[in-house]
């Protein structure tokens, strides 16, 4: 009886192996013919037999499965087809790595390379066209197909952030951090002797070769800066967007440990601290930023913005004036300073409305308003001088001129406005 059971078990194995071989042959034949719909039928039939496949059959199955879905993607370029193909090839590589044989891995590589090229091109195109919803998936798919190309995980993280998919962006940026991603690349360049332009040679060997031919000179190897601090900074910004202030502060501090001289990180933390009403910490960080970069007009401009957001208009005006001292052509500083000064107009308008029947008082307040407008006009005129096509500045000047009785200047500015509309 026992012998019968053993024989029956052996017979079952033999039948299963025979079925596998038939399905494998049928799938292989369909793939070679390019009949991927038929190949899919055979592959699906094999899916339930994977656990019983031997070390020789399993790699071939994954190869055929990958080729099938890659073939289907040519007529139906859906993410699912690419995902299934990439997943199959990944399992193929794992299976053959264990066995030390790379027969089917070698055969699959050209198809995988084509897929990577197609998906990366689509992802980059969508990213450039600001179609971040599609780009984030396509760029991450490239990374899934080629995990060594971690730069695509960075691109996917940026796309998710720009798409305001903050949970996904946080996952991707955190993965980059955990991987120890630096984003450091080497750029090999040389000067084209004929054109005088510096060109990217791609590789060290290509650069050396072109210099030896005598058509290029002055070879240089430039190494980009590490992006580790930027990745951690982005994690902080995601937490800010998610409203996780405490986590954001911790992430900013982690980033500052890597890049302690990044003034923007100090400003970011300062803004977070004030949200928590930690005014002493805010003041400390502000002093640190100014001490670190005392001649940076952008720093003082940002300090003005932060102070204005916190309701300290006088401090904001002080910072904007300092930014203008450091950069006399800082348009946004002129505009923001003018806006901060016009903050007093709200009270003047309110007081005039209260004194509509008191003509003397009304005229007194109106005179103060005109005086304020005349004080502000030079700021907007300077902004207009530096940036003459800015419609917002032009509209503001039109209003100021009209309310101060500067009719000629109003007409000139209106003509300018009409020409730009």
- 73 shares its domain with 120: yes
Query: How many whole angstroms separate alpha carbon 291 and alpha carbon 321?
Result: 18
Instruction: Give the total number of structural domains in the chain.
Output: 3
Contact status, residue 47 vs residue 23, Cβ threshold 8 Å: no
Most confident range (mean pLDDT) of 71-75, 155-159, 291-295 is: 155-159
pLDDT tens for 103-146 read 888 998 898 888 888 888 989 999 999 999 999 988 998 888 88
CA-only gyration radius of the chain, Å: 33
Query: How many whole angstroms separate alpha carbon 56 and alpha carbon 309?
Result: 68
pLDDT tens for 161-212 read 999 999 999 999 999 999 988 888 888 899 899 899 898 888 888 888 888 8
Structure token digits, residue 146: 């080629």
Residue 202 lies in a domain: yes
Structure token digits, residue 345: 């107009």
Strand partners, 188: 221
**Residue 211 buriedness (CB in 10 A; 0-12 / 13-18 / 19+):** middle
N-term to C-term CA, the chain: 97
- 100 shares its domain with 190: no
Query: How many whole angstroms separate alpha carbon 246 and alpha carbon 232?
Result: 15
Contact status, residue 159 vs residue 135, Cβ threshold 8 Å: yes
Residue 274 lies in a domain: no
pLDDT tens for 371-409 read 999 999 999 999 999 999 999 999 999 999 999 999 999
Quote the Cα angle for 265-271-274, to 5°.
Answer: 140
Residue 398 lies in a domain: yes
Query: Which positions ≥6 away from 230 have C-beta within 8 Å?
Result: 183
Residue 18 lies in a domain: yes
- 110 shares its domain with 212: no
- 31 shares its domain with 143: yes
Of 121, 147, 173, the residue that ends a domain is 147
Query: How many whole angstroms separate alpha carbon 233 and alpha carbon 364?
Result: 52
How many Å separate Cα 335 from the centre of its chain?
A: 29
- 191 shares its domain with 86: no
- 89 shares its domain with 209: no
Most confident range (mean pLDDT) of 79-93, 235-249, 323-337 is: 323-337
- 203 shares its domain with 125: no
Query: How many whole angstroms separate alpha carbon 147 and alpha carbon 141?
Result: 10
Structure token digits, residue 300: 């003082």
Residue 405 lies in a domain: yes
Structure token digits, residue 309: 């957001």
- 113 shares its domain with 213: no
Residue 106 lies in a domain: yes
Whether residue 288 is predicted with pLDDT greater than 60 in this model: the reply is yes
Name the residue range of residue 219's domain.
Answer: 186-223
**Residue 258 buriedness (CB in 10 A; 0-12 / 13-18 / 19+):** middle
Residue 59 lies in a domain: yes
Backbone φ, ψ for residue 326 (5° rounding): -75, -30
- 136 shares its domain with 208: no
Tell me the residue length of the chain. 421
Residue 196 CB coordination number (10 Å): 7
Residue 176 lies in a domain: no
pLDDT tens for 252-281 read 888 888 788 888 888 888 878 877 778 788
User: pLDDT at position 401, please?
Assistant: 92
Contact status, residue 282 vs residue 270, Cβ threshold 8 Å: yes
Query: How many whole angstroms separate alpha carbon 138 and alpha carbon 79?
Result: 8
Of 147, 167, 200, the residue that ends a domain is 147
pLDDT tens for 38-83 read 888 887 888 777 777 887 888 888 888 889 888 888 887 777 888 8
- 86 shares its domain with 193: no
- 13 shares its domain with 142: yes
Q: What's the pTM? A: 0.61
- 133 shares its domain with 44: yes
């Amino acid at each position: 009886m026992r012998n019968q059971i053993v024989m029956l078990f052996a017979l079952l194995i033999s039948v299963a192996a025979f079925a596998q071989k038939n399905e494998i042959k049928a799938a292989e034949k369909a793939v070679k013919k390019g009949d991927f719909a038929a190949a899919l039928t055979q592959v699906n039939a094999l899916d339930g037999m994977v656990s019983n496949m031997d070390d020789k059959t399993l790699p071939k199955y994954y190869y055929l499965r990958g080729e099938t879905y890659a073939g289907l993607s040519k007529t139906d370029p859906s993410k699912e087809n690419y995902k299934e193909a990439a997943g199959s090839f990944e399992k193929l590589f794992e299976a053959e790595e264990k066995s030390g044989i790379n027969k089917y891995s070698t055969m699959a590589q050209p198809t995988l390379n084509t897929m990577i090229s197609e998906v990366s091109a689509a992802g980059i195109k969508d990213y450039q066209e600001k179609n971040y919803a599609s780009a984030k998936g396509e760029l991450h798919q490239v990374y899934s197909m080629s995990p060594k190309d971690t730069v695509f995980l960075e691109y996917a993280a940026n796309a998710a952030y720009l798409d305001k998919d903050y949970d996904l962006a946080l996952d991707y940026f955190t993965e980059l951090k955990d991987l120890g991603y630096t984003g450091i690349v080497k750029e090999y360049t040389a000067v084209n002797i004929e054109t005088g332009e510096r060109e990217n040679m791609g590789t060290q060997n290509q650069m050396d070769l072109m210099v030896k031919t005598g058509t290029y000179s002055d070879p240089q190897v430039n190494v980009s800066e590490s992006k580790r601090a930027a990745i951690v900074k982005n994690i902080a910004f995601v937490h800010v967007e998610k409203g996780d202030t405490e986590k954001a502060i911790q992430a900013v501090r982690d980033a500052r440990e890597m890049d302690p001289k990044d003034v923007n990180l100090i400003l970011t933390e300062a803004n977070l601290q004030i949200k928590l009403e930690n005014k002493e910490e805010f003041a400390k960080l502000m002093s640190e930023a100014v001490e670190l970069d005392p001649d940076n007009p952008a720093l003082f401009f940002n300090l003005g913005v932060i102070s204005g957001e916190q309701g300290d208009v006088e401090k904001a005006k002080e910072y904007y004036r300092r930014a203008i001292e450091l950069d006399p052509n800082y348009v946004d500083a002129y505009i923001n300073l003018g806006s901060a000064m016009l903050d007093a107009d709200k009270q003047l308008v309110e007081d005039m409305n209260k004194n509509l029947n008191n003509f003397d008082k009304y005229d007194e307040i109106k005179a103060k308003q005109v005086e304020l407008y005349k004080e502000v006009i030079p700021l907007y005129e300077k902004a207009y001088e530096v940036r003459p096509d800015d419609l917002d500045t032009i509209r503001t000047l039109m209003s100021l001129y009209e309310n101060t009785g500067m009719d000629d200047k109003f007409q000139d500015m209106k003509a300018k406005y009409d020409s730009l509309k």
